[in-house]
Amino acid sequence: SGKSVDADDSRAKPEDLPRGEIHTATANGQVTLSILVEPLPEKTIKFMTRHARDIKRVVNLASSQRRHRLNAAAEALDEMDVIAGSVDVDSDDEAKTTKPSRLSELGPWLSTRMQETFNKAKGWEPLRVERIMNDGLRVLGPRQVGPNMLIYSTQVLEQSGRTSSSWYKQREHNGRGASSAATPYLSGDESDSEDTPTLESVRTAHTARDFEESINTGFQLAMQSGPLCFEPVVGVAVTIKNIVFNPEASTSSDATRSASSASSLSGQVITAVRDAIWTGLLHWSPRLHLAMYTCDIQATSEVLGKVYGVINRRHGRILSEEMREGTPYFIIKASIPIVESFGFADEIRKRSSGAAVPLLIFRGFESLNVDPFWVPTTEEELEDLGEKADKDNVAKKYMDG
């Protein structure tokens, strides 16, 4: 089961911050981040889910181009353009059956259509959406193709020295064509790469760009394993509003030790981003997405009551009921959560003495509109359900497994 965000529900949050906004720092205090988590419009989620395969093709094209460019740079810089050009031709040939016909045109087409899904959505002004789709949207998730967005604010883009670049375009991470995020302390000039870094160079080397890979990794981890059941998250926009580097917070007194701790700082940024996203997500009172079966049952009128009883106990719902003409049989169509389906067919046959036979077919996912953290507060709720109401909170039962 996955998670989605319900914009109509509220949860406790800091009084001085907007809903879903989190200010966090790494364990050593060197990096401070401001992150905003908010729900995406329903139309946007459906569009991204429906076009997941097209998005994957676009992402794979950009990754293929970048890999070829890096390999070409390692072998011979003057051959880079030739190799990159050959990738474009091959990719276009593979995209003849897609819409639009050319794979190189698919990214802009998806971006334009995605932007249109934000129309009239609350909290998503047209100018803001246009800026996001033009250069603020950095990556999707999980696995770079899911229905969640990682967005950089204008302030962060300016800090990193980024030029306008959309999510579907190939990006260079630094002047040498390779990412320095794994070793942020060593992001100076190549001429100094063999020298021991000075404390001053360590302090001034950091920009938002140095932490881009770590931020992306933290985002992907948070989207792949959400805070409720550690399952994929659906329908979340994560905006990195600000990044501040504070070298004075380092407990190390020499530059060599600081340089050697670069990988440790990268890991701390990953953890800080993931945990902040989880916390911001909980501000929106997330809901479980349940995998569902469609259940077709043929039964006689004598056992209809027993069939309905089994479906209700399994937290299912009746979709339709009709009598087959010329026969004593009723055709019942219902839906039940897959998590409740184990032993369902055997129970139906047992209760109906073999007179009802169910057929289960995967239906898709449905949101369970129950807050898994809900507890009774009024006198009536406390009297009827007790202080915890564990038995009646179905979402909490699924979450706790």
Q: Is the pLDDT of residue 57 over 80?
A: yes
Both tokens of residue 40?
A: 């995406």
The pLDDT assigned to 396 comes to 83
Q: How far apart are CA 252 and CA 128, in angstroms?
A: 41
CA 340-342-343 angle, to 5 degrees, is 120
Closest C-alpha among 210, 42, 60, 239 to residue 143: 60
Q: How far apart are CA 107 and CA 332, in angstroms?
A: 44
The pLDDT assigned to 170 comes to 53
Residue-wise pLDDT for 136-149, tens only, equals: 898 898 988 899 99
User: If you count them, how many residues does the chain have?
Assistant: 401
Amino acid symbol at 233: V
- The average pLDDT across 360-387 equals 80
Unique residue bearing structure tokens 């259509």: 113
Q: Is the pLDDT of residue 75 over 70?
A: no
Residue-wise pLDDT for 27-47, tens only, equals: 988 899 999 999 999 999 999
The pLDDT assigned to 399 comes to 83
Unique residue bearing structure tokens 């059956």: 97
Q: Is the pLDDT of residue 86 over 90?
A: no
Q: Is the pLDDT of residue 176 over 80?
A: no
Most confident of 90-94, 176-180, 392-396: 392-396
- The neighbouring-strand residues paired with 363 are none
pTM above 0.85, yes or no: no
Q: How far apart are CA 263 and CA 184, in angstroms?
A: 8
Q: How far apart are CA 268 and CA 264, in angstroms?
A: 6
Among 12-16, 278-282, 325-329, whose mean pLDDT is lowest?
12-16
pLDDT band, residue 94 (cuts 50/70/90): very low
Q: How far apart are CA 391 and CA 386, in angstroms?
A: 10
